[in-house]
Amino acid sequence: MKFILSTLITLTLLNLNAATPEQKGVEIAKKMEAANNGFKGEESQMEMVLIDAYGAQTKRVMKGLVREVEEDGDMSISIFQNPKDVKGTKMLTHSHKGDNDDQWLYLPTVRRVKRISSSNKSSSFMGSEFSYEDLGSQEIEKYNFKWMKDVDLGPKIGKGWVIERIPKTNSGYTRMVMTVAQKYMNPVKVEYYDRKKELLKVAEFSNFKDYKVGGKDMWRSNKINMNNVQTKKRSIFEWKERKVGVIHKSKTFLKSSLKK
């Protein structure tokens, strides 16, 4: 019996070691997806601070709603509340697993709903360093993955991985290099490379909190610092009063509801 158990353990270790970097990358992505599935929905107040190359700041306040969709990407809507010049602006996103996301922007000054085309997904979202693509849900079906290395993220966070993510569909990026914390099963850092394959910007994720939904622990970053290394501009996205596990009706996320 000891011989059989020893043999099985040895075979398991050999199989793990035999996995290619691409296979390991996919497995890590699947673990992240499984850890984050089942949140049902979210509701929060959010702040976005735009910081130019000289340090001048502009603050924008939003309300955010997210609805989890089984068998497809999630739905989300952001509603700007302040300052006055953007108040009432809304962005609606219907994410998809195997296709380009559907995104619409409602502009209250002209009472018009504008569709964001796939060719414009790399454009700046409301003057920030976040693109429309960044604000869609990151479904694993849209990417190829590759494990690069294991890392130690320090005593507070512990072990992690560095994986490469390459878009399969139309994207403003050629690749993203993600540092993932095993504790959170979410990235703590993402490097974005532009179409010239040069480093464009770096996102740092912090202020992680543990939310319980149906007895399941779900870690979420409540602050993202997006630093554009080419323009020296920054944007900080922060969640306030965040609730996870909130159930929203699907009609809240209809395109027709944007003008209401």
Domains of the chain: 22-257 (2.50.20.10)
The least confident of 33-47, 88-102, 153-167, 192-206 is 88-102
Q: How far apart are CA 233 and CA 11, in angstroms?
A: 51
| Dist. CA 217–CA 213, nearest whole Å | 7
Strands (E), the chain: 41-51, 57-67, 75-82, 90-94, 102-107, 112-116, 143-152, 159-167, 175-181, 186-193, 199-213, 216-228, 234-244
Question: 160-169, pLDDT tens digit by residue?
Answer: 999 999 999 8
The pTM of this model reads 0.88
Burial class (CB in 10 A: 0-12, 13-18, 19+), 188: buried
With the CA atoms of 96, 101, 106 and 107 taken in that order, what torsion angle do they form, in degrees rounded to the nearest 10? 160
What is the pLDDT averaged over residues 197-205? 98
Query: Per the structure block, which two tokens stand in for 153?
Result: 């993220």
Q: Is the dihedral of CA 191, 181, 71, 132 positive or negative?
A: negative
Q: What is the pLDDT of residues 83-137, one digit of tens each?
A: 999 999 999 999 988 788 899 999 998 889 999 887 788 889 888 999 989 987 7
